[in-house]
Structure 1
Amino acid sequence: MAAADSDKIRQRYDRLAPWFDSLEGILEGLLFRRLRKRLWSQVSGDHILEVGVGTGKNFAFYPDGARITGIDFSPNMLAQAQRKRQRKQLDVDLARMDVESLDYADNCFDTVVASFVFCSVPRPRRGLKELYRVCKPGGQVLLLEHVLSSNRVMAFMMNLFNPLAVRAFGANINRDTLKNVQACPFRNIYIDPASGDMIKLIRAVK
């Protein structure tokens, strides 16, 4: 069932890939870009993994001098990122891969980054445990995610409209990502003070 769910979500992102940047353009300019910049300002270490690289929206924030790998499970989204990499002449390795089953050894990345990814992972705890596995001891996982509101009325509306969001975009708008992170054996978990009710910046230290 999870494999079938993953295939459906992948197909939706493949379909949206050519227009994805335009679809999120207004939100990107008003809010997301500022949060992405804050997220990437916390990156440290020489070997960085970006999970769910998408069309390459985070390319502008990549730190100088680090070895960076970006993965995505959608070939069409990855193709957009590859074209953007060429235009910007960026030194980043791109690979097609599913976060629920990473082809990397244990303890090999200093920082693992994901932005607006775990809303669309069929088994988010499995994916988060993979991030924990490939992160070095003392390393960090940095997440920027939209989550279920703590406001009961808003949460009811988000739960009500979630099936529509999944069908249209492949993304769940009602995930409790913080609870999923807390289910992993991280040493420390921090919520960035810039976080709001429905968008969280989370730093988890292994």
Structure 2
Amino acid sequence: MKPDSAAIRKRYDRIAPYFEGMEAVMEGLFFKNWRKKCWAKVEGHHILEVGVGTGKNFDYYPKDARITAIDFSEKMLKQAVQKRDRKNVNVDLELMDIQSLCFADNSFDTVICSFVFCSVPSAVKGLKEVYRVCKPGGQVLLLEHVISSNPVLAAVMNLLNPVVVALVGANINRNTVKNVKACAFTSVHVDERSSDIIKLIEARK
């Protein structure tokens, strides 16, 4: 049985105070540069960040944009609130699940997520919600780790996935590019700088 949102939320609530420390090495070596590349592609004035977590993207927010950021973990959001106040970041933070967004259709110029869909129980449902709230002609930017195209490494990732999900609630074997292409976006492009397991996906509504 796949974990539901409540089970995954509890896992993120549990690790929230230690989350930045847990990922510090990977953040410094890899994720930080990818976040910069992803946020450099943001367009428009009204931006939605889905899965804000502890606020790791605050340093990359465009200065002149109106930004709303959500997370489904109350404890992770609490960390983000503290960081927002400490850094004086201009962002509205809300507790919300990507699978059921409380925003009107066609609300945002850009919807952006970084390392989020690994933790969404129903990735397709989450993508449909992201598509719904994005304005016509707007863009969805996804920075995600995905299953490897190497059969041997993919087999290892599939083998380890239940353990990783049980510990932190994140799947390491998602095929997010395929899921995005299955949605109704007019175009889907994978940044040429993407690696085998980290993909920067640009989708246009």
Shorter-chain-normalised TM-score: which range? over 0.9
How far does residue 193 in structure 1 lie from its aligned partner after superposition?
1.1
How far does residue 5 in structure 1 lie from its aligned partner after superposition?
1.2
- Between the aligned partners of 1:5 and 1:198, the Cα distance in structure 2 is 24
Q: Partner residue of 2:11? A: 12
Q: Partner residue of 1:56? A: 55
Moved beyond 6 Å, runs of 4+: none
- Between the aligned partners of 2:189 and 2:40, the Cα distance in structure 1 is 15
Q: Partner residue of 1:197? A: 196
Superposition TM-score, scaled by structure 2 size: 0.99
* Identical columns (%): 62
Q: Partner residue of 1:43? A: 42
Q: Partner residue of 1:121? A: 120
Q: Which SS does the other structure have where 1:100 is aligned?
A: helix
- Between the aligned partners of 1:44 and 1:141, the Cα distance in structure 2 is 10
How far does residue 50 in structure 1 lie from its aligned partner after superposition?
0.1
Q: Partner residue of 1:107? A: 106
How far does residue 183 in structure 1 lie from its aligned partner after superposition?
1.2
Q: Partner residue of 2:27? A: 28
AA matched with 1:66: A
AA matched with 2:79: Q
Q: Partner residue of 2:137? A: 138
Report the count of equivalent residues: 205
Structure 2: gaps spanning 5 or more residues: none
- Between the aligned partners of 2:9 and 2:32, the Cα distance in structure 1 is 24
Q: Partner residue of 2:184? A: 185
Structure 1: gaps spanning 5 or more residues: none
Q: Which SS does the other structure have where 1:33 is aligned?
A: helix
Superposition TM-score, scaled by structure 1 size: 0.98
